[in-house]
Amino acid sequence: MTKLTLYIFLFLLTQSWSLHSYAKGTYLEPEKFLSDVFNNNPPNPKKLWLKKELKKEIKKILGDEFKPLRLRYWDDGSKKAWILERIGRDKPITTGYVTSKGKILDVKVLVFRESRGWEVRYPFFTEQFADASLKADTKLDRKIDGISGATLSVDALIKLARLALFLDQYIDNKN
């Protein structure tokens, strides 16, 4: 291997490390997400206690146990904001969902900790969720196109979207 080839190899290797570290991080602070959603005046958070029956329904959506005992959400009477986490491959992805009347208004990836799949943060992906709702079987009413190499991150965001919509309906039906 010549010195030039070695230098090129090392340069490309450091560039790939830079891209990897660029992918991880906080894209939007949760407080800023809430401030944006509610025009700089977020309501006080509310708590939804996850009782046994509700956890059973959540497990159907997520495919596994959901550990929290309660969830916080923000509701101003016209829309709700949810900050939810789901592990993609190894680490949690923190995502903000805005729902209203059984539809998704907006999705933002807030914190991404995985080494792959960070492309889910971009609008070309998140905009697919706009106006999505749930069918009777708690599946989304539309197909969300995946991203090559980001399958687990895509799956995490789809499951969280289904959960946000389910919880939106649950609260609306409870009141």
Q: Where are the domains of the chain?
A: 25-174
Q: Please name which of 109, 119, 106 lies closest in space to residue 145, comparing C-alpha atoms.
A: 119
Q: Return all residues near 111 (Cβ < 8 A) that are at least 6 apart.
A: 25, 26, 27, 92, 93, 94
Q: Please name which of 27, 21, 17, 23 lies closest in space to residue 117, comparing C-alpha atoms.
A: 23
pLDDT tens sequence across 13-61: 444 444 444 467 889 999 999 999 999 999 999 999 999 999 999 999 9
Sheet of 80-87: strand order equals 25-26, 103-112, 92-100, 80-87, 70-75, 46-49
Copy the structure tokens of residue 117: 């799949």
pTM: 0.86
pLDDT tens sequence across 126-171: 999 999 999 999 999 999 999 999 999 999 999 999 999 999 999 9
